[in-house]
Structure 1
Amino acid sequence: MNRTARLYALVEELRAAAPRPLTVAVLAARFEVSTRTVQRDLQALMQTGVPVRTTPGRGGGWSIDPATTLPPMHFTADEASALAVALAATGASTPYAGAARTAAQKIAASMTGPASAAARELAARIVTLPSPTDSAVRAAVEQALSSNTVLRLSYVDAAGCESDRVVEPAGLLTADGRWYLIAWCRMRQAGRGFRLDRITAAASTTEQAQPYDLAELLRGSAAADAVPPTTVAPLTSPPSPTGRHCAGEPFRSRH
């Protein structure tokens, strides 16, 4: 068994035993490797974000929370290729690009055989051009969206005018290859769209934002008929009465 397959198998072994911890010695015997090798593998899993943890002392060992991991998934060659294309096309400026990159690594590590070969071959034929979006700006936007907190930003509109805003994020919209933060702007007292590559600075705060319905903020704009991408729709909650959500036609960036 190569290391990639062993790392995947380690996770499944811990999942099967959860919540009971397993000792390094037990895992080493199970995979017929040294305890030092198992220790290195477990540390590697921790570094890649897998929620494994160790409990010291008698009765302790290594364990994993099944609620925070996915059960084994088996992709067809076409499904693996589709995932490879989608994740490889996620440029550095795309929101949650870091999470997409680690997800791609985990998916690649879990695949073997024809599906893995097809996905890797296709991914090798995908290239992207760099985008000017600042990584610190993207990280602040991601943090504000994930934690539903107020965001402070500096923005340059299409006319070149810069302004400082305090906004309450509602969601993201993608149109014509560009990303927009849709938010309630406290200065304008209305919903506004901010193109990510025009945000020159952003800082998340600890202040909780008010919940705003994305469809309501888009109402009356060029993006009023926006809907979830078909690949994302199954992950979303039941649609609002308007049936409108993010993504679609361009939203006015600022007024």
Structure 2
Amino acid sequence: MDRTTRLYALVEELRAAAPRPRPVAALAARFEVSTRTVQRDLQALMESGVPVRAALGRGGGWTVDPAMTLPPVHFTADEAAALAAALATAGTPYAGAARTAYQKLLASMTGPAAAAAETLASRIVALPSRTEPAIRDAVERAIADRTVLRLSYADAAGRTSQRDVEPAGLLTAEGRWYLIGWCRTRRAGRGFRLDRVTAATPTDEPAHPHDLTALLHGSAAATATRPAALAGA
């Protein structure tokens, strides 16, 4: 069994036993490797974001949170290549999550599907994002938590202003990402280019719900639609 296959099987072994922990010695015997190899594999899974953790004390070992992982999913070679291409080209604000998702995708596959995904991804290049990770994280958190976001924003002329924004969603167009929301300062719906946001501070203040389509109405993005791959989701 190669390492990629073993990493995938290791997660499924822990999932099947959850919430009971599995001792390292038992895992080593199960996969016919040394305890040192199992420890190395578990550490690699942790670093890639898989929610495995050590359970200390009598009867301890390793376990995985089944609520935080997906059951086995089998992709065709074409599906795997499409996912790899989408993840490899994902930009702000999901570049970091896309990178770890791509690593997990490869770790979960073997055979032609894995080869197709890895080959295609190796032939894709992209310019780096100009959005600071801290800004990206603040925007993501405000959208997910539905809270007001405080921005320092530079317009096309370089003039900076402070804005309190109630986020409605994200728009991607021509390689750029925009935060769409209700600007309390302007008392209107606005789009903010993420590469022009110089600072973003999340607050604990709940934001009023705003419909993304309604905020885009009358703007240059009024005809924006969900990406085709998500239209039926």
Shared fold, TM over 0.5: yes
Corresponding residue number in structure 2 for 1:201: 199
Corresponding residue number in structure 2 for 1:37: 37
Post-superposition CA distance 1:23-68 (Å, at most 9, x none): 1121111111122221222222122211112222223322222221
Post-superposition CA distance 1:187-221 (Å, at most 9, x none): 11221110111112222223332222212222232
Q: Matches of 2:196 and 2:154 in 1, distance apart? A: 5
Cα offset, 1:229, TM superposition: 0.7
2:88 maps to amino acid: A
Corresponding residue number in structure 1 for 2:154: 156
What do you get for the CA RMSD once the two structures are aligned?
1.7
Post-superposition CA distance 1:118-163 (Å, at most 9, x none): 2222112211123433333222212222222221111122243321
Q: Name the SS for the 2:165 alignment partner.
A: strand
Cα offset, 1:180, TM superposition: 0.6
1:191 maps to amino acid: G
1:14 matched to 2:14: yes
In the TM superposition, 1:1-255 aligns within 5 A as: 1-91=1-91, 94-235=92-233
Cα offset, 1:179, TM superposition: 0.9
Cα offset, 1:12, TM superposition: 0.5
2:43 maps to amino acid: Q
Q: Matches of 2:204 and 2:46 in 1, distance apart? A: 28
Q: Which runs of 5+ in 2 are unaligned?
A: none
Superposed structure 1 runs of 4+ greater than 3 Å apart: none
Q: Matches of 2:164 and 2:74 in 1, distance apart? A: 45
Q: Matches of 1:147 and 1:205 in 2, distance apart? A: 10
Corresponding residue number in structure 2 for 1:239: none
Q: Which runs of 5+ in 1 are unaligned?
A: 236-255
More deviation in 27-36 or 209-218? 209-218
Q: Matches of 1:40 and 1:121 in 2, distance apart? A: 26
2:146 maps to amino acid: N
1:145 maps to amino acid: I
Q: Matches of 2:17 and 2:156 in 1, distance apart? A: 57
Report % sequence identity: 73
The number of equivalent residue pairs is 233
1:95 maps to amino acid: P
Q: Name the SS for the 1:231 alignment partner.
A: helix
Q: Matches of 1:49 and 1:55 in 2, distance apart? A: 17
Distance 1:131-1:21 versus aligned 2 partners, 3 A rule: closer
